[in-house]
Amino acid sequence: MPHCVHTRRLLREHGYRVTPQRLMVLEVIRAADRHMTAEEIHSALQKRYPGVDLSTVYRALRLFVRLGLVEQHELGGGRRVYEWRTQPDHGHFLCERCGRLEHLEGIFLEPLRLALDRTRGYQVRRVEVTVLGLCASCRGAP
């Protein structure tokens, strides 16, 4: 697993220990095919490693976000989700009715980046956007 070698090196370079708990949290996030809350990550870990507690998950997540391995997204109402950082720029669409969260590809964000550069002279390093509305299923539902 190439990400494991990278993760171990990154942790050591920043003066952090490579612990089994940290690697387990990261592996759950990498294996997920969706965004997960800290509680969902903890629940997934409990199935395989019953000794890991929620505070360990939160500490690992804070560290991974700080190191740029994991992205944290605020969805409003105190709800936070996490995902493996795979794309440099991407956005999200959050359905306000069913809570479905989907990725918006960079193609939607590039016009925003260019417009900010042209009209404001901003040098955009990263675009992170959450669009709120109704998904196609909820839009058609009564």
Encode pLDDT of 71-119 as tens digits.
888 877 788 889 887 666 678 888 888 888 887 877 788 888 889 989 9
Check pLDDT > 50 for residue 28. Answer: yes
Paired strand residues for 36? 82
Cite the beta strand spans of the chain per DSSP E. 70-74, 80-84, 91-95, 101-104, 130-133
Sorted by sequence, the CB contacts under 8 Å of residue 86 that are 6+ apart come out as: none
| d(C-alpha 43, C-alpha 121), whole Å | 45
Q: Residue 119 belongs to what domain range?
A: 91-140
| d(C-alpha 55, C-alpha 127), whole Å | 30
Encode pLDDT of 17-26 as tens digits.
998 888 899 9
| d(C-alpha 116, C-alpha 28), whole Å | 36
Phi, psi dihedral angles at 97 (to 5 degrees): -95, -55
Q: Are residues 50 and 113 in the same domain?
A: no
Q: Are residues 20 and 79 in the same domain?
A: yes
| d(C-alpha 50, C-alpha 109), whole Å | 41
Question: Model's pTM, two decimal places?
Answer: 0.71
List the CATH number of the domain containing 41. 1.10.10.10
